[in-house]
Amino acid sequence: MRLLFLVDPPDRLDPGHDSSIALMRAAAARGHQVLMAEMRELSVRDGKVFARAHAADPRSGSLGRGPAEVVDLDDVGLVLVRTDPPVDDDYLRATYLLDFAQRRGTPVCNSPDALRSTNEKLFALRFPELTPETVVSASAAELADAVGRWGRAVLKPTDAMGGRGVLLLEHGHPNLPGLIEVGTARGRRHVVLQRFIDDGTHSDRRVLVVDGEPVAALRRTAKAPDFRCNMAVGASATAVPLTETDRAICAVLRPELIGRGIAFAGVDLIRDRLIEVNITSPTGLREIDGGPADTVGRVADDVLRRLLAHAR
């Protein structure tokens, strides 16, 4: 089978960390042809979708460096969208092109419609019984009032990733007004504000979910003095067993994930609270599998196997 990975520019992919490369290695080990392209390399002619793609051999470290080939997505067994946020105008246009491929019968993971309509920071709010106390607002007064009630809160942009723009706010801190001003672009931009939760370990959990079923989990621990648990800002990561809480929360999410065409997600939890549902490019496979970066990990292979079964 030909598999097309829509990824960020190859020079941004880290073989020791990137889950896209882990999935590519698993695909190559299974004998599939691995192709990669950027979203900007998609096009539509006569109602058919094409990609200016490069063959990738992740086992040898060759990622998108060979000659380009114009690939008809009708001839691709599965398109895996693995491009990082922001979900901006360029990203949205690419999902519209992928709609044509999906309608012609090419499976796309995750669904283009889901990528457009499922905001990773806001989706969890569909399950208020699972989330921390949360306010979404651009109002400095409303946000400051919530911080005053909670004592400590985490402010997050609605369209970023990797801990970018995430701020810890504390009631009474002299920088509180300025931080809210910066986060909201002086009241012009909505942000997510969640009550700060600390489980005593300065960590969170990333649960990888395929077809609504949890398959593996990762504990991410902040690098002091930073409070953010994102690996992109230096947090450490360790594979951990799935818990009953992980399974119970995923069971609640499952109908909505499946109904939206979200085959692969990264569910973020602190204690028993749902924080985010990542669907654009869930990470953690390399850290869960461990071992040398050039080997095929058990969990990466299991995730790919499940995604291929879903595509069929």
Catalytic residue positions, numbered = 121, 156, 206, 220, 228, 268, 276, 278
Cis peptide upstream of residue 174 (ω within 30 degrees of 0): no
Q: CA–CA separation, 156 vs 134, rounded Å?
A: 11
Phi, psi of 285 (to 5 degrees): -60, -45
Q: CA–CA separation, 122 vs 80, rounded Å?
A: 23
Cis peptide upstream of residue 292 (ω within 30 degrees of 0): no
Q: CA–CA separation, 128 vs 106, rounded Å?
A: 35
Structure tokens at 269: 């939890």
Q: CA–CA separation, 25 vs 56, rounded Å?
A: 10
Judging by beta carbons within 10 Å of its beta carbon (0-12, 13-18, 19+), is residue 98 exposed, middle or buried? buried
Q: CA–CA separation, 172 vs 148, rounded Å?
A: 8
Residue 216: enclosing H or E segment and its boundaries?
strand 213-221
